[in-house]
């Protein structure tokens, strides 16, 4: 519990999604009693008039912007235009309308995909502008990075208290397991579970397995976002992560073990690996607002597999 939320209304865009549900639950645990979660059927955030209606209904002191069009490498390659437009226009208009509505604080939740393709590991926030993002998700990453520019510009010109948090790859119960649009962990879990149940001897995995990633459990990410909203008021972006990387080959081995799939993994080297390496320097978050990830990867993966298997049985 914290006094920060006492008397403050919160608006969480994307609050019914994977990360959003965890953030809303975390805010309530921390004492927020008035959390407004807009639904896209009623409030299309690509439409400025709908945003104004949403803000009038919610009357928020704090806006946490999580709504996004997201997906794995395949979805990003198939829909670069809509991924750019939808993410850019939602965020740009929402920040502007929040400023006009005199919202007290705005939390931009960005993406690790904004970092340059060949960023030295660990990624430090000052590296954000050192090059172009990895090509398969650059339109999405650049659209989200423009919201950092807008937040800093609005702070400078209008004294608008907007902060930017950059979470690394997320995973956990409630993730998107649709094979057409899911990220790597839910895609692998589904593939392994279905192969085990079918008695299949092999699974196919994209790439070479040499790329590395860092994974943050969704409840840890939600706590980091809540802490940032409560304690951080600066212009500089802040990474949210674990500070550890693993190769995709190591990840696949872990998922096979967690799902009890004992077959062969076949690597499809005609498919892209994506960004070569990905791991964050998380020192700013710990120093500036006391965030440190707590969930060991093996435990988080176990919970995620258990959740998916329960959904399959249900």
CB under 8 Å to 15, separation ≥6 — which residues?
Answer: 21, 23, 24, 35, 36, 37, 38, 66
Tokens representing 229 are 């909203």
The verdict on whether 85 is a catalytic residue reads no
Q: For residue 126, count CB atoms less than 10 angstroms from its CB and return exposed for 0-12, middle for 13-18, buried for 19 or more.
A: exposed
Map tokens 């096979």 to a residue: 256
Which residue is catalytic, options 140, 154, 171, 232?
140
**Enclosing H/E stretch for 268:** strand 264-268
d(CA 165, CA 180): 27
Question: Which of 248, 281, 282, 279 is CA-nearest to residue 265?
Answer: 248
Neighbours of 112 (CB within 10 A): 26
Q: For residue 32, count CB atoms less than 10 angstroms from its CB and return exposed for 0-12, middle for 13-18, buried for 19 or more.
A: buried
Q: Alpha-carbon torsion 269, 271, 272, 278, what sign?
A: negative
Catalytic residues: 140
């Amino acid at each position: 519990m914290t006094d920060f939320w006492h008397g403050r209304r919160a608006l969480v865009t994307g609050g019914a999604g994977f990360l959003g549900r965890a953030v809303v639950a975390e805010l309530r645990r921390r004492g927020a009693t008035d959390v407004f979660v807009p639904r896209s059927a009623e409030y299309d955030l690509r439409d400025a008039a709908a945003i104004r209606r949403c803000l009038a209904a919610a009357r928020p002191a704090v806006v946490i912007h999580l709504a996004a069009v997201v997906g794995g490498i395949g979805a990003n390659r198939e829909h670069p235009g809509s991924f750019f437009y939808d993410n850019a226009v939602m965020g740009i208009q929402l920040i502007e309308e929040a400023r006009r509505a005199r919202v007290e604080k705005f939390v931009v939740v960005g993406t690790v995909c904004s970092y340059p393709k060949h960023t030295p590991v660990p990624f430090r926030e000052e590296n954000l502008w050192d090059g172009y993002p990895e090509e398969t998700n650059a339109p999405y990453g650049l659209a989200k990075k423009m919201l950092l520019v807008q937040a800093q510009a609005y702070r400078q010109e209008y004294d608008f208290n907007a902060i930017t948090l950059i979470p690394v790859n997320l995973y956990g119960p409630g993730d998107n397991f649709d094979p057409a649009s899911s990220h790597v962990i839910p895609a692998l879990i589904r593939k392994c579970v279905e192969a085990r149940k079918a008695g299949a001897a092999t699974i196919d995995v994209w790439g070479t397995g040499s790329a590395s990633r860092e994974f943050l459990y969704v409840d840890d990410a939600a706590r980091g976002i809540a802490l940032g909203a409560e304690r951080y008021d600066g212009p500089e972006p802040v990474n949210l992560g674990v500070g550890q990387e693993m190769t995709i080959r190591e990840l696949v081995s872990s998922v096979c073990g967690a799902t009890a799939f004992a077959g062969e993994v076949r690597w499809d080297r005609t498919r892209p690996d994506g960004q070569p390496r990905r791991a964050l320097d998380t020192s700013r978050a710990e120093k500036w607002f006391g965030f440190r990830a707590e969930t060991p990867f093996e435990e988080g993966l176990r919970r995620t597999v258990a959740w998916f298997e329960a959904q399959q049985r249900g």
